[in-house]
A and B are shown apart, each in its own frame.
Chain A
Amino acid sequence: MGLLGEAGDYVMLMRQTFKRPDKGWVFRRQLFIDFYALGVDSIGIVSFISLFMGAIIAMQMAYNIDNPLVPLYLVGYTTKQMMVLELSPTIMSLILAGKVGSSIASEIGTKRVTEQIDALKVMGINPANYLILPKITAAMLYFPVLVVFSIAIGLSGGLLAVYITGSVTVTDFIDGLQAWWVPFDIYYSLIKSVVFAFIIASVAGFKGYTVDGGSVAVGRSSTQAVVASSILVIVFDLILTQMLLT
């Protein structure tokens, strides 16, 4: 199947997915399960990576800025800008594409090959709506939360790094964090994370839903989901940056 045909199938599937759920409470229950299973469960990895990323960026900046004419609070400032604008929304999304994307694709793919999707359909239920919509909605809710979380942990990591290495004083670093504060930067970051959440959850849902074959095909589709959604995340990062920041 060509790329264009696949894109067409994806759009068709999304049209089935975005329908009103048959039972509101069943949808909300599923949403809660997915939010918990994928969102809350990702806090650990997000914290770990953000902490190290923030620390490393702060150390690199301190190392780079050794010209006495450049004020030291710039270390804090650049660490903040890098975390907020790019590292937290984009790098976190790429990591979550691996974790969340493969989990969604393999879960739905397994339901496909074991005929659970057929079973839903013959009960008179819209399987795309029942299975995929809560996952997309949950992702669009917990991605921004995780990003804010990642920014906070990342900046703490930076602070910790300068405190331990003593390259910049803590006061300078905190001054930098507070310098030139632009609220729109945060919105930009959150908008990106919501768009990436949609891309990752919907592409993974699509890849799982359209599995054809057995367990080998499920594995293949989950790899494809990660690769395809990572590429789309980076492409949309560029598009959104062009749209929102220039």
Chain B
Amino acid sequence: MIEVENISKSFGGQAVLKNISTTFDKGKTNLIIGQSGSGKTVLMKCCIGLIEIDKGVVNFDGRNFSGLNEKKKKNTRKEMGVLFQGGALFDSFTVEENIMFPLNMFTKQSIEEKLQRVNDVLSHVNLDNANKKYPAELSGGMIKRVAIARAIAMNPKYLFCDEPNSGLDPKTAERIDDLISELTEKFQMTTVINTHDMNSVLQIGQKIAFIHKGELWWEGDHQEILTSDNPELNEFVFSTELTRRLK
């Protein structure tokens, strides 16, 4: 479980996060939703310590994280898998080397064991023949899938995904969602996903935090989100023709 308590962040006087408190539960897919520019990425980066928070605390399973120095943060970070919004694959490495990288750095596995693991996670994301390709040779969706494979390669306890299925076709997007929720359940990870994709919200939104203008506006699950009477949330959820018909 990850606890976020009263965190605030501003950039040059402009408040991006205002006093946000929430929890992300273990074994669940926790979603952060909100419009573009609402602060989802900033919130996620505050949780993993890539952005210094101005105020507040972040705890991982009861252990304080945000107050630690860089050196001490390392230990918790080895238990995290992070998917960045743009993939952030290492451009000088092939797909295989990208996924093998954390294994090289932190395990003493033999090359065969590492290759086995690489192929395991690649087949999870339905990428079987891309081992020797460089990131520049991949499509946008393939980059996302390799990045997910890299994030789960070390069996993380905490998985953070910043828009895992944006830019993917609906079928692949759904497969990625299913994969993440399956892994979350199976390995009892604490998974945090940023998204503005309503399909994902309805499909895997076990716990949903809606961020609006930097504030935590609403919290609930994928049942409650359809029946809420919060006007800003409704505007967000029922913004497309498809979802309006659903209602």
Contact = CB atoms under 8 A, between A and B. Distances in A.
Report if A and B associate in a common complex. Answer: yes
B66 to A, nearest CB: 14
Contacts of A122: 48-50, 77, 80, 82
Interface residues of A, number: 15
B91 interface: yes
* Interface range on chain B (Cβ under 8 Å from partner): 20 to 34
Interface stretch (B25-33, B102-110, B175-183, B235-243): B102-110
B88 interface: yes
A23 B104 contact: yes
Q: Which of B80, B86, B104, B105 lies at the interface centre, i.e. has the most chain A CB atoms within 10 A of its CB?
A: B105
A116 B143 CA distance: 13
A168 to B, nearest CB: 50
Contact of B77 (A26, A111, A114, A124): A124
Interface string B70-105: 000011011010101110111100000000011011
Given A26-B105, A110-B91, A124 B75 contact: yes
A110 B104 CA distance: 23
A22 interface: yes
A163 to B, nearest CB: 45
A125 interface: yes
A119 B82 contact: yes
Contacts of B106: 123-124
A121 interface: yes
Contact of B102 (A114, A116, A118, A123): A123
Given A23-B105, A26-B105, A122-B48, A116 B90 contact: yes
Contacts, number: 48
A124 B78 contact: yes
A6 B101 CA distance: 32
A43 to B, nearest CB: 22
Contact of A118 (B78, B88, B101): B88
B78 A115 contact: no
A128 to B, nearest CB: 11
Given A115-B84, A116-B88, A116-B90, A121 B78 contact: no
Interface of A: 22-23, 26, 110-111, 114-116, 118-119, 121-125
Given A115-B88, A123-B78, 20 more contacts: A23-B104, A26-B104, A26-B105, A114-B88, A114-B91, A115-B84, A115-B86, A116-B88, A116-B90, A118-B45, A118-B50, A119-B84, A119-B88, A119-B90, A122-B49, A122-B50, A123-B105, A124-B74, A124-B77, A125-B105
13 contacts: A26-B104, A114-B91, A118-B45, A118-B88, A119-B82, A119-B88, A122-B50, A122-B80, A122-B82, A123-B101, A123-B105, A124-B74, A124-B106
